[in-house]
Structure 1
Amino acid sequence: MKNYFSTLLNDPEIKSSLRISLPLVFVELVNSLYSLADTFFVKDLGSEALAAVGIAGYLLMLLQVFFTLFQTPLLILVSQSIGAGYRDKTRLITGEILVEGSICVIFLSIIFYIVAPLFITIQSGVAGLAFQYTLDYLRIRVAWFIIFFVSASFDTVFIASGRSDISLISNTIGLVSNIILDPVMIYGLAGLPRLGVAGAAWASVIASFLVIPVQLYYLGKLQLLPMRPAIFILPRKIIDLGLPAFIERGVISLGNNIYAGIISRLGNTVMAAHNIGLRIESIIYMPGFAFAMTASTIVGRHVGEGDFKRAKRIGEKVIYMGASLMGLLGAVVALSSYYITTPFAPTSEIRELASLYLILAGFSEFGLGLAMVSSGAIRGAGNTRVPFITNTVSLLLFRVIPSLILVKSLGVLGPWIAMFIEVYARGIMAYTIFKRYFNRLARRLIS
């Protein structure tokens, strides 16, 4: 076993994959802390402020789904262009997608700014002070949403170029800036006016803005500063690559909301246990997202080179690593579920239910890893339609419909069993398609 791991870690292709994926694991952690910062610092303003930040957070996540329209094509086209050795073309691609994406984001921000009160009412039904706090926070973030889009796009370029270490640096700077600015702007420290919940929104905006000069500096060092295109030549490719990924995110979000709705109807105790389990499980997702992005980057680079055989070989290695790591972490969580849930569960019934959820979820993580990383590898090969179809069909056919049926006889155990089956079905489908049909699916999009 020792010789096996020694050989594995000395594999140059494994090493190159880990150089990308390991910083991305920490990027995911930083992003999780980023989202928690505002929540932590507004807690002393009262329950209305806490609720407002939470409600606005859900609506902002919904709005960020639109980023997928542009960042998925950006990741694929930049990785393939760098693989092909076309650095100037990479700069033109980045410039064009930035311009077209920014126009759409500004237009979307204006609409969302106007209809924000309606969205808040539909999503949460809150009124009074909580409604006003939510509206203030949301409108500030939405008004400057272009900053978040530009920063996220530069981050995608770093990842696509294999420099996830720079992504970690820039995200960490953003997190530290946000942590410093939050108390200053919320509570009016250092002679500044006390802005309350609005201060948390302004802190996030300013922190993201401060990251952009750092990103531009590193893009300059990498000779990847965006170039303004004379003519737009990519709209068709952007739609071809981005639209399936965008619809996939939307359908999965809808399906997961239906799934959560089935569980919530079983009572507050069941839903509390489910949410505790989900929050703990979310830690295991981080390596999955990291290895999925790594697979997209490395496979895309070698497809851009025209070396489909190497793209498939390294893609398989990344899939094995990502799925195995998630499976290992999942097993640890499953076996220690009773102890992990204890600090979060206010009653023994909630603890037992949350523990049961984590046992099923933990032992399903290997299948989820297969699904996430295989889909990432297929996207990197230039095909976003297949992951859209497999992930959507799997979610509806193996999770949502069985949950509706099984919940009647098994209670909450029914949807949880459906979840377990669905992630393995999705993982096996995605990996089988990658393994058997890679050469048919792969497309060299750069010429």
Structure 2
Amino acid sequence: MQRIIVSPDEPFTSIVKKVIKLSVPIIVVNLLYTIENMISMVLVSSISPSAVAATGFSLSLLWFVYSFMAISYSGTNILIAQFVGAKKNPSPVLINGLLLSFLISLPLFFYGRELVLQLMELLGASKTVRELAGEYLKPIFWFIPIGFLTNTFYGAYNGAGDTKTPMKVAILMNITHILTAYTLINGKFGFPALGVQGAGWGIAVSETLAFFIYSFLLLFYKKPFPIKPEYEPGILLRMIRLGTPTALERAITTLSFNVFVGFLAKFGDKVLAAHQIGLRVESISFMVGFGVMVASTTLAGQNFGAKNYRGMVHAVRVAANFTALVMSILGLILFLFPHIFVYPFSRDNEVIEWASYYLRIVAISQPAMAYAAIFSGALKGMGRTTIPLIVNISSFWIFRIIPSYFTLKVIHSPLVPWGYMTFETFVRAVFYYLMFKRETEKLFKTAEGEKHTEEEYAEGDKPLKEGSTHVSR
């Protein structure tokens, strides 16, 4: 457990070092996750373009299912960060987070796979893609309670400022996922060839391994912190209050995103495959923003808990500017050399060309994505989880989906939704900046008011001078 408090006048380089120390392990975790999914898609690409589309579409819709994790993950992550900043015992948060995550996962264990397949049908996926997706999703939903519990452990470590341990666990998960998928997709080492279902088993087996590792570390090494049972009134309700807006945000955004993907599915499996490949490649850049976003949630949460508001704002602004610089460089690389990144996923020339168009368009939005991610993460760390819900949904529909729907009636090209996607990212970044500025100004006014009240109280507390006629009524 690490308490990270930032001074309001701390040098840029000092804060960047703290941000890097926190975010690099998270970025590595996301890199490993991206590599896992990329390798799975490369492995299933030997089956057919439909197998690639099914795996990619399933992963996109799994984000909708995983959005329910946010109730327990976000509540655990935010409250542990705030408790650590305030020097309070975080044990009740983790205990309640694990309980909550298990309860949320049970309905998905029974009905999650059918839900995803129904959504896929509504969004225009072909019968072939849906059948393949059904096989891929079977083992994932058989083990989904384990996945939810593992994710809550991950949130606890991040909130406590220990991002290195999850990185080490993720390395083992990555190796397990790839070996399992390779073995079961192709039927190696005497195992049956399960095709796309083998890729799903890669996820299930790796999540199970991580759960046992985290449990072992908690019981025998007191990580991320020693469990000291303590009653904290209303903790479960606070977790639900903090986590529910984030869960709704992710669920609605994911459904909205897949409505958006539905526009592309109508152009055929090759364009859909190109979009999924482009997303996987772009995630190399996005994982930097996501990693610093999680770090910003921890930084903002701990400094918010410590009532170090000016230090919090200084840290978030430095993190945002630094991340925008890094993602701009990555965006430039994607813009200049898209074919290099696309080629490992497909040998189909049409798929390669469409995926390259996608990468060049979204490369422009990388700095805006950085600002949106960091300010969003900071707002969550402050406990303002309703704001990202409102901003994401409003921005997505008003500036991406609705314009794409009407423009496609006139211009029938996948370049239309991809163009609006980049434009909407810039709009969202501006909204997040304005919301963060508004909320922090409120904090400063509240803090000044409390300070003024305390000074008045201290003044009134002084003994009266001899001869004073002051009377209290």
Name 1:360's counterpart in structure 2. 361
Q: Work out whether 1:336 is the aligned partner of 2:334.
A: no
- Residue number among 1, 10, 13 corresponding to 1:11 in the alignment: 13
Distance change (3 Å), C-alpha of 1:127 and 1:232: farther
Structure whose CA Rg is larger: 2
SS of alignment partner, residue 414 of structure 1: helix
d(CA) in 2 for partners of 1:315, 1:94? 26
Instruction: Point out the more displaced range, 317-326 or 272-281.
Output: 272-281
Q: For residue 34 of structure 1, what is the aligned residue in structure 2?
A: 36
Number of the residue aligned with 1:380: 381
Which letter maps to 1:207?
A: S
Structure 2 equivalent of residue 414 of structure 1:
416
Which residue is equivalent to 1:94? 94
Offset, 1:180: 3.5
Please tell me whether the aligned partners of residues 34 and 280 of structure 2 are also in contact (alpha carbons under 8 angstroms): no
CA distance in 1, matches of 2:349, 2:284: 23
Q: Which residue of 1 aligns with 2:470?
A: none
Cα offset, 1:59, TM superposition: 4.8
- In structure 2, give the amino acid aligned to 1:73: G
CA distance in 1, matches of 2:55, 2:416: 33
Q: Which residue of 2 aligns with 1:168?
A: 167
CA 1:405 to 1:79, structure 2 compared with 1: closer, same or farther past 3 Å?
A: same
Identical residues among aligned pairs (%): 24
Do the aligned residues in 2 keep the contact of 1:302 with 1:311 (CA within 8 Å)?
yes
1:20 aligned partner, one-letter code: L
Question: Pairwise mapping of residues 71-220 of structure 1 onto structure 2 (< 5 A)?
Answer: 71-86=73-88, 88=89, 90-112=90-112, 124=125, 126=127, 131=131, 135=134, 137-183=136-182, 194=192, 196=194, 201-219=200-218, 220=221
**Aligned to 1:11, what secondary structure does the other structure show?**
helix
Residue aligning to 2:27: 25
Q: Deviations over 1:6-58 (max 9, x none)?
A: xx997322211110111211110111223345555567778887776556545
Following the alignment from structure 1 to structure 2, what is the Cα–Cα distance between the partners of residues 52 and 352? 20
- Structure 2 counterpart of 1:315: 316
Equivalence for 1:5: none
When structure 1 is superposed on structure 2, of 224-233 and 94-103 the one drifting more is 224-233
CA RMSD of aligned residues (A): 3.6
**How many residues were matched structurally?**
432
Please list, as runs of the form range in 1=range in 2, the aligned pairs for 1:385-396 lying within 5 A after superposition. Answer: 385-396=386-397
Q: Residues 50, 334 of structure 1: CA spacing in aligned structure 2 closer, same or farther, 3 A cutoff?
A: closer
Alpha-carbon distance change, 114 to 401 in structure 1, aligned in 2, over 3 angstroms: closer
Map Cα deviations across residues 395-432 of structure 1 (whole Å, 9 max, x no partner). 11111222223334444343333222211111011112
What is the SS of the residue equivalent to 1:358?
helix
Aligned-partner residue type, residue 321 of structure 2: Y
Contact 2:285–2:327, Cα closer than 8 Å, also in 1: yes
In structure 1, the residue matched to 2:435 is 433
CA apart distance, 1:366: 0.8
Give the residue type in structure 1 aligned to 2:329: L
Structure 1 residue 260: deviation in Å? 2.5
Preserved CA contact (<8 Å) 1:43 1:50: yes
- In 1, distance between residues paired with 2:232 and 2:365? 48
CA 1:175–1:263 in structure 2 vs 1: closer, same or farther (change >3 Å)? Answer: closer
Shift of 1:251: 2.0
Tell me which residue corresponds to 1:401.
402
Change (3 A) 1:426 1:127: closer
Structure 1 residue matching 2:68: 3-state secondary structure: helix
- Residue identity matched to 2:192: R
CA apart distance, 1:194: 3.5
Q: Which moved more, 1:266-275 or 1:282-291?
A: 266-275
Distance 1:95 1:339, change over 3 A: closer
Q: Quote the Cα distance in structure 2 between the aligned partners of 1:312 and 1:63.
A: 33
Which range moved further: 256-265 or 323-332? 256-265
Q: Shift in Å at residue 62 of structure 1?
A: 2.8
Distance in 2, Cα, partners of 1:204 & 1:267: 28
Kept in 1, the 8 Å contact 2:362–2:422? The answer is yes
Q: d(CA) in 1 for partners of 2:339 and 2:52?
A: 29
Could you list the runs of 5+ residues in structure 1 that have no partner in the other structure?
1-7
Match in the other structure for 2:70: 68
CA deviation digits over 1:192-236, x for unaligned, max 9?
Answer: x63735665455433322223432454434462556666772232
CA distance in 1, matches of 2:171, 2:50: 29
**TM-aligned CA deviation for residue 107 of structure 1:** 3.4
**Superposition pairs of residues 271-350 of structure 1, within 5 angstroms:** 271=272, 273-337=274-338
Distance 1:223 1:332, change over 3 A: closer
Query: Could you list the per-position Cα deviations for residues 168-208 of structure 1 after superposition, in whole angstroms to 9, with x for gaps in the alignment?
Result: 100111111233344556677667x6373566545543332
Q: Deviations over 1:300-342 (max 9, x none)?
A: 1100111111111101111111222112211222233466556
Tell me whether 205-214 or 154-163 shows the greater mean CA deviation.
205-214
**1:269-319 Cα shifts (integer Å, max 9, x gaps):** 655554444333222111011011011011111001111111111011111
Question: Greater share of helix residues, 1 or 2?
Answer: 1
Q: Per the alignment, do residues 93 and 173 of structure 1 end up closer, same or farther by CA in structure 2, a change over 3 Å counting? A: same
**8 Å contact from structure 1 (residues 9, 15) kept in 2:** no
Map of 2:471 onto structure 1:
none
Conserved? CA contact 1:96–1:228, under 8 Å: no
1:95 aligned counterpart, secondary structure: helix
Distance in 2, matches of 1:182 and 1:12, equals 42
Give, in whole Å, the separation in 2 of the partners of 1:399 and 1:72.
26
Instruction: Summarize the alignment of residues 43-62 of structure 1 with structure 2, pairs less than 5 Å apart.
Output: 57-62=59-64
For 2:232 and 2:98, how far apart are their aligned partners in 1? Answer: 14
TM-score, normalised by the number of residues in structure 2: 0.79
Q: Partners of 2:73 and 2:302 in 1: how far apart?
A: 16
More deviation, 251-260/195-204: 195-204
SS in 1 for 2:287: helix
Question: Does the 8 Å CA contact 2:274/2:352 hold for their aligned counterparts?
Answer: yes
Q: Which moved more, 1:168-177 or 1:57-66?
A: 57-66
Kept after mapping to 2: 8 A contact 1:174/1:211: yes
Q: Distance in 2 between matches of 1:31 and 1:411?
A: 34
Q: C-alpha separation between the residues in 1 aligned to 2:107 and 2:354? A: 45
Q: Does the 8 Å CA contact 1:383/1:441 hold for their aligned counterparts? A: no
- Range that drifts further, 293-302 or 226-235: 226-235
